[in-house]
């Protein structure tokens, strides 16, 4: 007996959810397995999956971990996952907005997910805010965003998002994913990015440094002297060799050194 109509109806439902939440679900098993391997290696204790959707990545993560916490905001998708994994003791479903969930409650963890494009930055920030509790994060995101997260100084992709990320972790684009691997297909290419927390903080006052970096990049085409004017002592700004440069030309370490001089 053919299950074609049922499968077609399920696909239509999934596409409808994806469009409603701005999410595109990945169905290429070879890529899903590569993501699971990047996140867990051969074994991980606790994995937090953000936005499991229909469970494509979930089924590749479960064999590689002791506990999988899946955070899903959509009631229909959450219900399907709850039924599908009702007898799986390693699976824990949290029906919630990830931006409202306290990720630290599950202790040290790996964070992984296919992230909706429109909330990539706040989700990355929440994962990195776990600090020493974060083993690593592996996210499938819009390629343009992945390139910005991992960008080096001097390139057109390098900006505040690059600095805010790299001040807390090493960022590496692992591989690209074509549009045809998703349902519904997005209009842009995607990429998988690995974020590995730094063993030592780049700055004792990270929050202060991030505010400083935001000011440095406030108007990208202006020099640091112009962007920092009115926020710090003028004589100190003028004494910096980098004052005539733009923020996009400086590595995180250079910006940290400047911040430490100016804040004192």
Domains of the chain plus CATH, in order, are 4-197 (3.40.50.150), 206-263 (1.10.8.100)
Q: Which residue bears the tokens 């709850």? A: 82
How much of the chain exceeds pLDDT 70, in percent? 92
To the question of pTM greater than 0.75 for the whole model, the response is yes
Is the pLDDT reported for residue 37 higher than 60? yes
pLDDT, tens digit, 9 for 90 and up, residues 74-118: 999 999 999 999 999 999 999 999 999 999 999 999 999 999 888
Q: Which helix (H) or strand (E) holds 213?
A: helix 206-216
pLDDT, tens digit, 9 for 90 and up, residues 188-243: 999 999 999 999 989 999 999 999 999 999 998 899 999 999 999 999 999 999 99
Closest CA to 91 of 108, 78, 76: 78
As given in the structure block, the two tokens for residue 75 are 């009631």
Sign of the CA dihedral with 66 first, then 50, 41, and 57 last: positive
Round to whole Å and give the CA distance between 169 and 164: 9
Confidence band, pLDDT 50/70/90 cuts, at residue 5: very low
**Average pLDDT for residues 137-143, to the nearest whole number?**
97
């Amino acid at each position: 007996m053919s299950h074609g109509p049922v499968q077609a109806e399920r696909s239509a439902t999934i596409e409808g959810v994806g469009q409603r939440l701005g999410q595109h679900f990945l169905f290429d098993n070879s890529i899903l397995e590569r993501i699971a391997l990047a996140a867990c290696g051969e074994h991980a204790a606790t994995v937090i999956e953000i936005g499991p959707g229909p469970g494509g990545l979930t089924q590749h993560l479960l064999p590689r971990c002791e506990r999988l916490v899946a955070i899903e905001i959509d009631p229909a998708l959450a219900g399907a996952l709850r039924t599908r994994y009702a007898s799986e003791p390693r699976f824990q479903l949290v029906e919630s907005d990830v931006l409202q969930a306290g990720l630290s409650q599950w202790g040290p963890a790996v964070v992984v997910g296919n992230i909706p494009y429109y909330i990539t930055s706040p989700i990355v920030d929440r994962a990195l805010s776990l600090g020493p509790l974060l083993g690593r994060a592996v996210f499938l995101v819009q390629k343009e965003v992945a390139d910005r997260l991992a960008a080096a100084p001097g390139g057109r992709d390098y900006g505040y998002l690059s600095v805010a990320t790299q001040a807390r972790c090493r960022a590496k684009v692992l591989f690209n994913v074509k549009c045809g691997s998703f349902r519904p297909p997005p209009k842009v290419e995607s990429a998988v990015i690995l974020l590995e927390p730094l063993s030592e903080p780049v700055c004792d006052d990270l929050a202060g440094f991030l505010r400083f970096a935001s000011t440095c990049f406030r108007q990208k085409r202006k020099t640091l002297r112009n962007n920092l004017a009115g926020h710090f002592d003028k004589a100190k700004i003028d004494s910096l060799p980098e004052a005539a440069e733009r923020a996009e030309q400086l590595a995180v370490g250079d910006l940290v050194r400047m911040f430490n001089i100016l804040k004192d």
